[in-house]
Amino acid sequence: MLGKKRRLKRILKDGKTLIVPMDHGITKPPRGLENIDRILKSIDGIADAVVLHKGIAKHSCYLPNAELGLIVHLSASTSLSKDPNDKKIVTSVENAISLGADAVSVHVNIGSESEAEQIVEMGRIVETCDSYGMPLLAMMYARGKGVEKNVETIKHAVRVGFELGADIIKTSYTGSMESFMEVVKIAQVPIVVAGGSKTDDIKLLEDVKNAMLAGAAGVAIGRNVFQHENPRLIVKALRMIIHEDAEVCEAKEILKGVMNEGALAVKP
Could you list the beta-strand ranges (E) of the chain. Answer: 17-21, 49-52, 69-73, 75-76, 88-89, 103-110, 136-142, 168-171, 191-194, 218-220
- Beta partners for residue 88, in sequence order: 76
* CB distance 255 to 234 below 8 Å: yes
- Of residues 155, 170, 209, 236, which has the active-site annotation? 170
Of 23, 102, 201, 207, which residue is the catalytic one? 23
- For residue 19, the cross-strand partners are 49, 220
Map residue 101 onto helix, strand or coil. coil
| Cα 203 to chain centroid, rounded | 18
Clarify whether 44 is annotated catalytic.
Answer: no
CB contact at 8 A, 221 and 20: yes
Residue 197: count of CB within 10 angstroms of its CB: 7
Q: Which residues contact 80 (CB under 8 A, 6 or more apart)?
A: none
Length of the chain: 268
Report d(CA 11, CA 16) in Å as an integer: 8
Closest by alpha carbon to 263, among 9, 42, 17?
42
Among residues 48, 54, 87, 141, the one annotated as catalytic is: 141
Examine the residue annotation and report whether 9 is marked as an active-site residue of this protein.
no
Instruction: Measure CA of the first residue to CA of the last residue in the chain; give whole Å.
Output: 45
CA 171 to chain centre: 9
Does the active-site annotation cover 23? yes
List active site positions: 23, 141, 170
